[in-house]
Structure 1
Amino acid sequence: MASYHRVLRTFGRTIDNNTLECDYDIHPWDILIDNQRWPGKIRLVGYIDVFFVMCYSGESRFEHGIIIYKDDEIIRQLLKKAGLRPEDRPIQLECINDKEEKEALRKYYSLTTEKDGSKHTIVSLGHPINLSTKYPKSKLKKYTIVLHKGHTPAMQKEILRGVMQHGIARLLTDALKLGVVSTAELISKVKETILSGSSLDAVTTRSMNALTSTNPHNISLSGDKL
């Protein structure tokens, strides 16, 4: 089996990307994926728009893993391309701003933190990953991940950055840090946020732009090479 670094590369990602937010080993007792505990070594690798949870052995031998989408625009477009609705099985994603009538502004990515701050719960759309660049749409599903916040202040900060969405404040920071959006795009996003009262958390649309499907049973997900 290949290394998890090679799996990341099939998604156009490396741990050297400027968009990297988190790259940490997670103890198996510190994470639950759909109420299951994965044995072995677990790596959390987070980027601006997605994060990966991967089980590996040895130095970096990939065993299995999942990708979780953090960007609501990408989530909406993935479902649209797959011909699925948030309420369909096995998706069943709840809209967390259900009073929003405009579908383009509906949010499905959920991140909550326990009152004592000890753990985060993430609910979002994702799918299993491997070395493939295309996955059947039947692999899309809702995942619930319960994650310990981390054992040191530095780890806590990086883990939170890895799983949290980008609000306007972080969008401004990333625009300066990465140059991933133009001034016009930034102004447009801020203007739309002010008018709608909702923050638009999409910063990149690489995954969304790669979505094509020639087979009604298959959809090209984030593993597509661009």
Structure 2
Amino acid sequence: MDSSSNPGWTVFCWQHTIFHRVRQGVWATRRPCRRPPPKAATSISRVVVHPPRRFPELPPTPSPRERFDQLTEAGRTLMDLHVNYEDVDPYPVNVQVKKSADPDDRETWRVTKMKWAKKKDPETGKNVNDTTTIIYSPKVTVSGISEEAERYLLGSRSALGWIIDRYQVKKDKASGIVNDPNDWCDEVANPRYIVDLIAKVTRVAVETVRITDSLR
């Protein structure tokens, strides 16, 4: 059966759209997750009442039907984009390889720990992250990343920020196991896999922001 005719799937697509709109702060109604503790009856054992934690709450089903259909179709597009992120058209980032490095050498594309480039904040004069440029390695720099990509968040950080944090060589202190993302590049026989992933995730981020912004 065509999933587009499945009512449950339709509602799921709508919820997927709402999830990303709430994540980007386009809208968010909120509710307390629990009642605050009662105040003590005596001054000896007073309880300090802190504001209750709050979580996003889905808004009512939109009306008219045309609006619901619009959000549902956006949800389908977003899910296809996010599930098939490795098949998207890469964003045209600028991959710069130092003249002393050989682009055909496997070691040129070996990553240890990526980081954002730095730039001067015009207001404070302090160095801040330049989210349009990633220092991939001493030999490779990826620039030309859209500033809009930083708005697509996975939890508390952007999708590209998550890649920078996770795609690094790191040893687990407890087990001694070394997590090396270069192993996967070798397994799929693509030394540029991580660089290509940066371009694809940038595309996903930019398109996600574009779609959710169009629904305001």
TM-score (norm 1): 0.24
**Is the radius of gyration larger for structure 1 or structure 2?**
2
TM-score (norm 2): 0.24
Higher helix share: 2
